[in-house]
Amino acid sequence: MKHGRPGSRKKNTSKFISLILRHKPEAIGIALDEHGWANVQELIDGVNRTGAHWLDMETLEDIVRTDEKQRYSFNEDHTLIRANQGHSIQVDVELEEKTPPDVLWHGTGEKYVKSIDEQGLLPKGRLYVHLSSDTETARKVGSRHGRPVIYRIDCKRMSEDGCKFYLSANGVWLTVAVPVQYLEKLVGND
């Protein structure tokens, strides 16, 4: 079933692949290994069985290559694919612990501020909290959830206090949680 413009079809297929590789592989009858890898041919066949999306190797390679957030990675011979981060299911995407910059940023929607101010940043349905290297990216992420609010994270102090940070293959900083004492809410156009 092919509806809509080719660009919007590709975008919708990419979103569906993201859902499968990060949250629900069973929805198309595939399994991920312990590192989040899926067999490419099984992914293509499973996506096509849904009837809602159409996928071939060329389209999948195009989606991986052109995804602005670099959500996906292939193994060396393109027989396996995985999402780089954002999983809600337990997988080990083989993240290497890294020393973070002194400051990172987190963008969210205004509706989450009260909870964050009380509990800090929690991964909720994901395995890690996602942090941005710059305020522009954080603002863009936050605007997906309504009026954006940006938090400054004191990563230097967190790291000194023993908190671990990881850098995903697509440049997103990850940590298990950010307690309130390391957060500073930015107001206005800071």
The reply to whether 77 and 108 lie within a common domain is: no
The answer to whether residues 38 and 21 touch, using CB atoms and an 8 Å cutoff, is yes
15 part of a folded domain: yes
Residue 17's domain spans which residues? 6-83
| 94 is a domain residue | no
Within-domain flag for 98: no
- The residue with tokens 């290497």 is 96
57 within a domain of the structure (yes/no) = yes
Q: Is the pLDDT of residue 117 over 80?
A: yes
Q: Closest Cα partner for 73 from 97, 93, 51?
A: 93
Least confident piece of the model among 5-14, 82-91, 151-160 = 5-14
Establish if 169 belongs to a structural domain.
yes
Q: Which amino acid is at 2?
A: K
In a domain, 95, yes or no: no
Q: Which amino acid is at 82?
A: R
Domain containing residue 176: CATH number: 3.20.170.30
Q: What is the mean pLDDT of residues 8-34?
A: 94
Indicate the residue among 18, 51, 83 that finishes a domain.
83
Task: Give the residue-averaged pLDDT of 64-83.
Answer: 94
Comparing 171 with 37, the larger pLDDT belongs to 37
Examine the domain organization and report whether 113 and 58 are in the same domain: no
148-154 sheet: strands from edge to edge: 103-109, 148-154, 183-185
- CA–chain centroid gap for 11, Å, is 16
- 176 vs 95, higher pLDDT: 176
Once rounded to an integer, what is the mean pLDDT over residues 155-174? 94
What CATH number does residue 69 fall under?
1.10.10.970
In this structure, the answer to whether residues 14 and 76 fall within a common structural domain is: yes
The three-class DSSP label of residue 106 is strand
Domain end (from 83, 115, 138): 83
Question: Does 129 fall in a domain?
Answer: yes
107 shares a domain with 75 = no
Domain count, the chain: 2
Please report the beta strands in 18-154, taking only residues with DSSP state E, as ranges in sequence order: 38-39, 72-74, 80-83, 103-109, 129-131, 148-154
Domain-ending residue, one of 26, 54, 83: 83
Residue 180 has pLDDT above 80, yes or no: yes
Same-domain check for residues 74 and 13? yes
Sequence length of the chain is: 190
Q: Is 190 part of any domain?
A: no
Give pLDDT, residue 2. 45
Sheet with 166-167: list strands edge to edge: 129-131, 173-175, 166-167
Mean pLDDT, all residues of the chain = 91
